[in-house]
Amino acid sequence: DVQLVESGGGSSQSGGSLRLSCEASGYTYDSYCMAWFRQAPGKEREGVASVDFDGSPYYADSVKGRFTISKDKAKHTLYLQMNNLQPEDTAMYYCARCRSNLIWSLAERDYNYWGQGTQVTVS
């Protein structure tokens, strides 16, 4: 079974940094794109950053220049380094694996496996 387990959330002051991790198992890791999404209270889930099977990153405009997505193939782990955090970054963050035959995407409909989420709070 495909499993995605996030960790690394927590609290930060404005301008601070956090790094999220997502350990994947149950499938051929290099064959699928992955992404980080977030959902703030009362808002829809939005794509934050995606990485294709080759490791090339793609970002939403709201986080470009502040967040970095990467993956460690040997550890089957996806990361999101978040710098210069702002209160509007407060949300539950989810990692996700895309459906097959996709290069990358920030659209929720293109992902069919999700982690349980990790909370990030910025004050």
Q: What is the pLDDT of residues 88-105, one digit of tens each?
A: 999 999 999 999 878 889
Task: Please provide the DSSP assignment of 43-98 as one string.
Answer: S--EEEEEE-TT--EEE-TTTTTTEEEEEETTTTEEEEEE-S--GGG-EEEEEEEE
Q: Residue 98: what pLDDT?
A: 93
Q: Residue 54: what pLDDT?
A: 83
